[in-house]
Amino acid sequence: MEKSLILVKPDGVERGLTGTIIGRLEELGLKLVAIRMLRADKDLAERHYAIHRERPFFNDLVNYITSSPIVAAVFEGEEAVSRIRKACGATDPAQSEKGTIRGDFGLDIGRNTIHASDSPETAAVEVETFFGNEGTCEYTRIN
Ligand code: UDP
Ligand code: MG
């Protein structure tokens, strides 16, 4: 079954949106199989966003994601990656449709409230990055 990693970014945690965001994804019928709050350090942030290392926004991105606690979670379900990306909306909240997480809550392209894995392969790496030590849980989701 497909897994996807999400992060509630600092602007989401600080505005008390964690429950709302996790709830929206649970309401899709996806199964929450791991969750933790953490303050990412520079090393973790740089590893998570390594693909963007050469981009002009990389330093701002790393500074932002390490500026305050985040909530990491893993959801499991059919097509979890694409369904969560759709629920998140476009990267830039100004371009995201209403009803999506970023469209409803995102402040700007940096403070866009949520990260979500962009492919099942990326998800596997990201789940290992954030939950490698504890792993994920197994249970039956009753809808
Ligand atoms: N980002 C930014 N400026 C940009 C592009 C991206 O600050 O011009 C940030 C934005 O917060 C985004 C993150 O970098 O969520 C990762 O970028 P990506 O293109 O992977 O977007 P995502 O997968 O998060 O939609
Ligand atoms: Mg991305």
The CATH number of whichever domain residue 29 belongs to comes to 3.30.70.141
The verdict on residue 141 lying in a domain is no
Q: What is the pLDDT of residue 143?
A: 81
How many structural domains is the chain composed of?
Answer: 1
115 has catalytic annotation: yes
Q: Say if 142 falls within a structural domain.
A: no
Assigned domain for 140 exists: no
Q: What is the DSSP letter of 69?
A: -
> What are the pLDDT digits (tens) for 75-125?
999 999 999 999 999 999 999 999 999 999 999 999 999 999 999 999 999
* 20: pLDDT strictly greater than 90: yes
Residue 139 lies inside a defined structural domain of this protein: no
Radius of gyration over every alpha carbon of the chain, rounded to an integer in angstroms: 14
Nearest one of 119, 14, 26, 130 to 68, comparing CA atoms: 14
Domain membership of residue 90 (yes or no) is: yes
Domain around 22: 2-134
48 lines ligand 1 (CB under 6 A): no
Q: Please indicate whether residue 91, judged by its CB atom, sits closer than 6 Å to ligand 1.
A: yes
Choosing from 91, 115, 125 the residue with most ligand 1 atoms within 8 A of its CB, the one to mutate for a pocket test is 91
Using CA atoms in the order 124, 73, 28, 24, what is the torsion angle rounded to 10 degrees?
Answer: -150
Place 131 in a pLDDT band, splitting at 50, 70 and 90. very high
Whether 69 is in a domain gets the answer: yes
Ligand 1 centroid to residue 109 C-alpha, Å: 7
Q: Residue 129 domain-assigned?
A: yes
